[in-house]
Amino acid sequence: MTTRKKPTSLEIAQQVRVRIDEGYKRAGAFTLVSNEQPRNFPKSPKSVQHHWERHPDLHPPEHGNSLLSAYQETCLVIALMAFALINLPAPSETVRKFVWIAYQIAVSARWVSSFVKRHADILRFRKPKQLTSARSGDDQITDVENFCNSYEAFTDTHYFPAEAICNYDETVYFVDTKDDLVVDSVVRDRSNVLRPRNTAICTSLVFVNAKGETLYVAYCLRIRDGVAEVPVPDHEKGDYHRSFFYSKTGYFSQELFAQAVVQFRTVFRARHPGLH
């Protein structure tokens, strides 16, 4: 039988620092390290905290930048790269919401400003450019090339498995002037116009990953007098989760779209628990 030796005070403090770097808050790190100690040398969380306080050289800096661990901050940078690569601005409030949703940590606008400055070489926040038909073709080609170059540089240091790359497609079902059902027509109503015509009877959002797998489908059915105008399908061809929403226009409002994304996130995390 092998007997584990009694851990030194420095070793216990080092275990706490490892847990803090992994994203645990100090109270949680003290409890976790306490539970990991050998049975013949039990330590309470309070005792672990005492050993931690005896080694201040292991403590991370005590300032606003230490609100997130190095791992958490790296994850935040990766998430915001989606904005930076296409030159979309990520307002301070958006960054603060990201941090709160991911880590339940409230950060200030000053912290966000400092965070952006620390990663200014990666997070190139600029005013977005509209690729409209009024712009010349050469300008559009240049923008596409700049995007490709930025993306290639990004993938030199970051890798995403195909299961973690997801996208969605929006399909609108509506009735045309001949009372025929049209699916995804080029003349369909657009969900982003200010006042869409009341012709859409249903909109679907299909979430897929880069492997071609359908993970989740959300439907928004138009209701009239509290009743959906089209029946809910009894089953799907594939094995994936689905949700049904209802609106007076048949389109996803901003609030309904947010709810669908939250549902997709739940489905994704349940299917790939190691990728979120």
Q: What is the pLDDT of residue 196?
A: 45
Phi then psi for 214, rounded to 5 degrees? -85, 120
pLDDT above 70 as % of the chain: 72
Tell me: the pLDDT tens digits for 142-182? 777 777 888 777 777 777 788 888 888 888 887 766 666 66
In-domain check, residue 276: no
Domain that holds residue 138: 67-159
Q: What is the 3-state secondary structure (H, E, C) of 69-127?
A: CHHHHHHHHHHHHHHHHCCCCCCHHHHHHHHHHHHCCCCCHHHHHHHHHHCCCCCCCCC
Cα–chain-centroid distance for residue 150?
21
In-domain check, residue 243: yes
The answer on 267 and 167 residing in a single domain is: yes
Q: What is the pLDDT of residue 191?
A: 45
The answer on 48 and 83 residing in a single domain is: no
Based on the structure, what is the number of domains in the chain? Answer: 3
The answer on 247 and 185 residing in a single domain is: yes
Contacts (Cβ under 8 Å, ≥6 apart) of 256:
220, 245, 247
At residue 207 the predicted structure's pLDDT band, cuts being 50, 70 and 90, is: very high
Tell me: the pLDDT tens digits for 65-97? 457 777 788 878 877 776 655 555 567 777 888
Q: What is the pLDDT of residue 120?
A: 76
Q: Give the domain-ending residue among 111, 128, 159.
A: 159
Q: What is the pLDDT of residue 238?
A: 67
Q: Helix or strand or coil: residue 185?
A: coil
Instruction: Give me 240's structure tokens.
Output: 């994936």
pTM for this model (two decimals): 0.44
Instruction: Give me 275's structure tokens.
Output: 């990728």
The answer on 129 and 53 residing in a single domain is: no
Question: Taking residues 4-8, what's their average pLDDT?
Answer: 78
- Report whether 184 contacts 174 (CB < 8 A): no
The answer on 169 and 113 residing in a single domain is: no
The answer on 166 and 259 residing in a single domain is: yes
DSSP secondary structure letters along 250-263: SS--HHHHHHHHHH
Q: Give the domain-ending residue among 140, 159, 178.
A: 159
The answer on 232 and 167 residing in a single domain is: yes
The answer on 111 and 55 residing in a single domain is: no
